[in-house]
Amino acid sequence: MTANRSLRPLLREQPILVSPGVYDGYSARLAEQAGFSLLSTTGAGLANSRLGVPDVGLFSVRDNLEACRVIVSATTLPISADAETGYGNAATVHYVVRAFEEAGVSAVSIEDQLAPKRCGHLAGKEVIPTSEMVGKIRSAVDARLSEDFLIIARTDAIAVEGIEGAVARAKAYEAAGADVLFPDAVRGREDIERLIAAVNIPVRINMGFGIRTRSTTPLMPLRELREIGVRWVSLSRLLPAAAINGMKQALAVMREAIEGEVMIARPDLVADMQEITELMGYADYMEIERRYLDEAHVARKYQAGGEQ
């Protein structure tokens, strides 16, 4: 596969970017297949799915990097990674940014929450002093090896310091060298407009599309977000939440089959085998077999009439 990992041209050329929150090989491949041009990892989705724990700072940098390498290998698209709080102070951020860049992602977001951090739409958040976050951003910018690698400054200050505090932080983060501003848990259009007016860098907004219980940020049409100047919208929770719902439905059907002692086909609930093998590239593997294994060996392997 030929990878196009550069994110800067997308921000220059597209009026607004939309990135699904991915958390494994399935979600990354499906998002690329669906025609998206950019992916973002979801910190909550990774912590929840890989460790089975809440998103409260338990997902280590090693866990995160391992997950990102898997996702990078599964897609040709640029990926924005959630580097949480940077896993320490401004000095450790230097090494963390280098590690994420080496892992193959195209950008990292670093947030100004006090560790242990939590999902941006949960109560009880705390933020570090602006000066401390400015040091982290400066360290991140200096650590990157390529100017194409973007540093995204996320602020969770609205819940703690209000919009005035968030605007002041936004200006300081831009001055420190951040490439993108990512205010999380914004309370509506007025907040977004205030933040866009405060900076001269792209602004990214997170939307909880599809979530039944309303997140802190109200849903807004993409057209409206584009009109007020939002350059990037991430849908972090949509795919993991959809997967949970799909598995719950399948497990309920499985329980019915066990209790009723009747196995009923439900193709409406599942992807068929051909769809899975096409998505995961089994045909490529079989072509490699034909190319490098002994012809007689390949013939024996598939003599029972299996796929070739």
pLDDT of residue 117: 84
Is the pLDDT score of 306 beyond 60? no
Secondary structure in 3-state letters for 203-264: EEEECCCCCCCCCCCCCCCHHHHHHCCCCEEEECCHHHHHHHHHHHHHHHHHHHHHHHCCCC
Instruction: Give the pLDDT of residue 1.
Output: 35
Give pLDDT, residue 185: 87
> Mean pLDDT, the chain, as a whole number?
91
What's residue 121's pLDDT? Answer: 73
Q: Which residue has the higher pLDDT, 305 or 262?
A: 262
Cα–Cα distance, 211 to 219 (Å, whole number) = 10
234 pLDDT above the threshold of 80: yes
Residue 262 confidence (pLDDT): 77
pLDDT of residue 25: 96
The residue assigned the tokens 């799909």 is 246
Integer Cα distance of 86 and 186 in angstroms: 22
Residue 136 pLDDT level (bands cut at 50, 70, 90): very high
- The pLDDT score that the predictor gives to residue 162 is 95
What number is the average pLDDT over the span 148-155?
97
Instruction: Kindly report which listed range (155-164, 233-242, 262-271) carries the lowest average pLDDT score.
Output: 262-271
On the question of pLDDT at 125 being above 80, the answer is yes
DSSP label of 19: E
Spell out the residues 6+ positions from residue 195 whose beta carbon is closer than 8 angstroms to its own: 163, 166, 167, 170, 181, 183, 186, 203
pLDDT given for residue 158 in this prediction:
94
Prediction pTM value: 0.91
- Whether the pLDDT of residue 177 is over 70: the answer is yes
pLDDT for 305: 54
Domains of the chain: 8-237 (3.20.20.60), 244-301 (no CATH)
| Average pLDDT over every residue of 287-292 | 93
Closest CA to 149 of 110, 111, 181, 104: 104
Q: Is pLDDT at 2 greater than 50 in this prediction?
A: no
What are the Cα distances from residue 250, in Å, to 45, 52, 246, 297?
Answer: 20, 20, 6, 39
Give the CB-side neighbour count of residue 88, counting CA atoms within 13 A. Answer: 12
Q: How remote is the C-alpha of 87 from its chain's centroid?
A: 18
What is the mean predicted confidence (pLDDT) over 247-251?
A: 95
Q: Per DSSP, which regions of 23-112 are E strands?
A: 39-41, 79-82, 107-111
The reported pLDDT for the residue numbered 308 is 44
Q: Which residue has the tokens 């976050």?
A: 133
Residue 214 has pLDDT above 60, yes or no: no
Helix (H, G, I), strand (E, B) or coil at 42: coil
User: What would the mean pLDDT of 263-278 be, rounded to a whole number?
Assistant: 90
